[in-house]
Amino acid sequence: MSTVKEKVNATNKEAQLKQSSYLEAISLALWEELERDEKVFLIGEDIGVYGGAFKVTEGFLDHFGEDRIIDAPLEETGFIGAAIGAALTGLRPVVEIQYADFISCGWDQIVNVAAKMHYRSFEPVPIVIRSPSGAGLRAGPFHSQSPEAWFSHVPGLKVVAPGTPYDAKGLLKSAIRDDNPVIFFEHKYLYRRLKEDLPNEDYTIPIGKADVKRFGEDISLITYGAMLQKSLEAADRLISEGISMEIIDLRTIYPLDIKTIIDSVKKTSKAMIVHEDIRTLGIGSEVAANIADAAFEYLDGPIKRVTAPDIPVPFSPILEDAFLPQTDDIVHAATELFNY
Amino acid sequence: MRVNKKIKIELYYYMRLGRAIEERLESLYRQGRMPSAIYLGRGQEAITVGAAMALEDGDTMAPTHRDMIAMLPRGMDPKMIFAQHYGKVTSPTKGRGEATYLGDMSKGIFTTVSMLPDFYPVSAGAALSFKLQKMPNIALAFSGEGATSRGDFHEALNFASVLQLPAVFVVENNHFAYSTPVDKEMKVDQVSTRAIAYDMEGSTIDGNDILTVYESVKKAVDRARSGKGPTLIEAVTMRMKGHSGHDPMKYVPEELLEKWRKKDPIDNYQRRLQKEGTLTKEEIVRVSEEIEKTVEDAVAFAEESPFPREEDLVLDVYR
């Protein structure tokens, strides 16, 4: 396997589109931002010598050195807090939380120190916390969670959850250049399963902007993360039923792009939300409330949610598959809504 | 270390100013003229002022709620302190933050939070930042002894030690975490013994003797600045007021307070300076007058300042 550095060189030489996995897209964004801005540095567990639990930073230590790729002791509060301190004194740290499940170990530093800093002191806190989240890898209750809703309830944080390699690269660059704390949830199921052509030139995707991944007429389906792919699969199958789905990929969870959602619902008059986080007070609740508030008179059916149930993420494959929303579930819910 | 006369007088001045500000805050609080809670550091002035005076421009400092007066030697204007307690828009937080949770990064003062010691890891990060940027600065953070039982304390000291960062951690052991006495907080006799776990320099000092504090912290600061790593300093003192303004601290035995009243850091230091001829009666009067005027001006500034505007409520959550 070639390193990211070799891939970057290859893309530079070829000066053409290059197919990259979701993981490579994230890796490239980090590499290019480290090259672009000497204030950027990475810190996290096992990111240096080992190259990261998922190998996102493989080869980085040799190229950038140990002042910029820092292997931290096993202490999320310690190194998240330290990253905040570094951000307040002129640097732009990018923290890797090995699995998003462990981000709760650093919760207080994120929500009480980083999030509330600018409102009270007007000091920027340019920190990115990368957290591989999501289920589907048979990893059990402590390596599979989707904690994006927790952080969307904390004013002062931005929460990003890209669903494609292209968006992941562009959004991570925006996050690193942003002067606010950004929690960046990368879906680990997509790491090596999803590939797409990436442009060679530098580009960013704005935080706070949803993307209509497919235009349609009958139902607005709002989703993000790994559920985007299942939603697109469902949309393909629904075409034969004569149901035209509009698929909105939120990309950013907070701030939520309400306008894109409402514009779509006003057109289709039917809305459903698909996410793999649990149901109660998930992002779907907030999306549904906004639709009810701003597009009530346009609705021609109930706002439906396809989500995981309110339980921990189970391990055994049969249980995990039942826990996760599947393409069949989306097709079923969409058909019901269409026929309402 | 010989402390020169100028520094000695400044140490004296800032302790006096700090106490005068806190006494005024307490009376305003009792009169119900300020919406804010108050957290007084009476009796601990030698630690806060002594440690702050050991810093240089460009260093960072992270006070706790009880260390507000540490900001004075770093350049915080007393007007800002009163405006903050009044909730006025002229304060550094523009009325968003209460009590002693104010700061000014241009002076190296973090705007800290109520959770302690959250700014131990943050200060370790500032120290990391100085090291990575090859800057000659250090980061100093305060904590009470109670907060040394929290995980943040351990993680910060471990982090700073493993990475050999230019940081100084000052623990004010004032015998009580709110109402809980030290023997219910920890089994060790001295907080500084916790430094052993990090293979870190640690010492316990008399926190009511400002020259001891200044010299000890200066030594640790110099050590950090020269790349020799972090230090933990436990300064032993006594919290002479309740945890906050509403707390009459009936849980503290009167004999204990009486014992510590005799160790008052300002009274003893003033006598010492007079005895050695560094401070005359005339100078004491002059300092008192200057401080009185400074405090009067600061209170007037706060009272005359406007409140924040309601329409600005939702601004500045993000950059």
- Helix ranges restricted to H, chain A: 4-14, 22-36, 60-64, 76-88, 107-108, 115-121, 148-152, 165-177, 227-239, 258-268, 283-294, 317-323, 327-338
- Residue A125 pLDDT exceeds 80: yes
A106 and A155 belong to one structural domain: yes
Please report whether residue B145 resides in a domain: yes
Q: Could you tell me the two tokens for A7?
A: 């891939």
Cβ-based burial of B115 (10 A; exposed 0-12, middle 13-18, buried ≥19): middle
Residue A66 belongs to domain spanning: 4-198
CA atoms of A225 and A210, how far apart (whole Å): 12
CA distance A330 to A223: 11
Q: Provide the CATH number for the domain around residue B167.
A: 3.40.50.970
In a domain, B312, yes or no: no
The closest of B302, B103, B114 to A120, measured between CA atoms, is: B103
Q: What is the pLDDT of residues A12-47, one digit of tens each?
A: 555 556 799 999 999 999 999 999 999 999 999 999
In a domain, residue A203? The reply is: no
Cα(first)–Cα(last) distance of chain A, in Å? 51
Spans in chain B with pLDDT lower than 50: none
**CB-CB neighbours of B286 under 10 Å:** 11
**SS3 category, A124:** coil
Domain assignment present for B313? no
Same domain, A188 and A269: no
Of A112, A121, A179, Cβ closest to residue B93 = A121
**Minimal C-alpha gap between A338 and chain B (Å):** 40
Shared domain for A178 and A248, answered yes or no, is: no
Kindly list the residues of chain B whose beta carbon comes within 8 Å of any beta carbon in chain A. Answer: 60, 92-94, 96-97, 101, 103, 105, 110-111, 113-115, 118-130, 132-133, 139, 151-152, 154-156, 158-159, 162-163, 316-319
- Examine the pLDDT at A1 and tell me if it is beyond 50: no
CA distances to A65, B44, B258 from B262, in Å:
56, 13, 7
> Phi and psi of A198, rounded to 5°?
-115, 140
Instruction: Tell me the C-alpha to C-alpha distance, in Å, between residue A245 and each of A217, A267, A329, B293.
Output: 6, 12, 15, 72
Per DSSP bridges, beta strands A245-249 and A211-214 are antiparallel
Q: Please enumerate in sequence order all residues whose Cβ is within 8 A of that of A89, keeping only pairs 6 or more positions apart, or say none.
A: B60, B125, B126, B129, B130
**Co-location of A152 and A66 in the same domain:** yes
Q: Does A85 touch chain B (CB under 8 A)?
A: yes
Cβ–Cβ gap B319/A179 under 8 Å: yes
- Asked whether residue A243 falls in the same domain as residue A287, the answer is yes
Residue type, B234: E
Q: Are residues A126 and A48 both part of a single domain?
A: yes
| A215 shares a domain with A122 | no
Nearest to A35 by CA among A2, A1, A12: A12
d(CA B41, CA B20): 11
B319 part of a folded domain:
no
d(CA B80, CA B68): 11
pTM for the model stands at 0.97
Q: What does the pLDDT look like over A252-309, one tens digit per residue?
A: 999 999 999 999 999 999 999 999 999 999 999 999 999 999 999 999 999 999 999 9
Q: Is residue A113 part of a domain?
A: yes
Contacts of B188 (CB under 8 A, 6+ apart): B194
Task: Work out the average pLDDT over A203-219.
Answer: 98
Contacts of A113 in chain B (CB under 8 A): 113, 115, 118-119, 122
Query: Is the residue at A205 inside a domain?
Result: no
Instruction: Answer yes or no: do A296 and A191 share one domain.
Output: no
Domain that holds residue B265: 5-307
A94 and A184 in one domain?
yes
Residue B316 lies in a domain: no
- Same structural domain, A146 and A48: yes
Q: Residue B261, Cβ neighbours under 10 Å: how many?
A: 12
CB-CB contact of B207 with B44 (8 Å):
yes
In chain A, whose CA is at the least distance from the CA of B314? A119
pLDDT at A89: 98
Task: Determine the pLDDT at residue B123.
Answer: 98
The active-site residue out of A118, A143, A153, A187 is: A143
Is the domain of A259 the same as that of A156?
A: no
The pLDDT assigned to A196 comes to 96
Q: Measure B26 CA to nearest chain A CA, in Å.
A: 24
Q: How many domains does chain B contain in total?
A: 1
Interchain pair A85, B111: CB under 8 A: no
Q: Given A142, A176, A198, which residue is the final one in a domain?
A: A198
- Residue A253 has what pLDDT? 98
- Chain B positions touching A91 (Cβ under 8 A) are 129, 132-133
Q: Is the pLDDT of residue A4 over 80?
A: no
Q: Within an 8 Å CB–CB cutoff, is residue A183 touching chain B? A: no
- Spell out which residues of chain A touch residue B317, defining contact as CB-CB under 8 Å: 118-119, 155-156
Average model confidence (pLDDT) for chain A?
A: 96
Residue B156, token pair as written in the block: 């910060």
pLDDT of residue A18: 74
| DSSP label of B169 | E
**Contact predicate A173/A198, CB 8 Å:** no
Side-chain-facing half-sphere of A15: CA atoms under 13 Å: 1
The answer to whether residue A84 neighbours chain B at the CB level (below 8 Å) is yes
The total number of structural domains that make up chain A? 2
Nearest to B294 by CA among B77, B10, B88, B87: B77
Q: Are A195 and A28 in contact (CB under 8 A)?
A: no
Question: How many other C-beta atoms can be found within 10 angstroms of the C-beta atom of residue B44?
Answer: 28
A63 is catalytic: no
Residue A208 sits at the chain B interface (C-beta within 8 Å): no
Q: Where residue A334 sits, what CATH number does that domain have? A: 3.40.50.920
Q: Which residues of B touch A80 (CB under 8 A)?
A: 121
CB atoms inside a 10 Å sphere around CB B133? 15
Q: How many CB pairs below 8 A link A and B? A: 131
**Residues B78, B18: contact at Cβ < 8 Å?**
no
Boundary residue ending a domain (A198, A231, A256):
A198
User: What pLDDT, on the 0 to 100 scale, is given for residue B2?
Assistant: 85
Residue A204 lies in a domain: no
Closest Cα of chain A to B162: distance in Å?
A: 8
Chain B residues whose beta carbon lies within 8 Å of the beta carbon of residue A67: 132
Which of B125, B316, B319 has the CB atom closest to A81's CB atom? B125
**Partners of residue A178 in chain B, C-beta under 8 Å:** 319
Q: Is A161 on the interface with B (CB under 8 A)?
A: no
Q: Which residues of A51-82 are buried (b: 16+ CB within 10 A; e: fewer)?
A: bbbbbbbbbbbeebeeebbbbbeebbbbbbbb
- Alpha carbon of residue A193 to chain centroid: 15
User: What does the CA dihedral A175, A176, A179, A185 come to, rounded to 10 degrees?
Assistant: 40
Please tell me whether residues A102 and A235 are part of one structural domain: no
- Residue A143 is assigned to a structural domain of this protein: yes
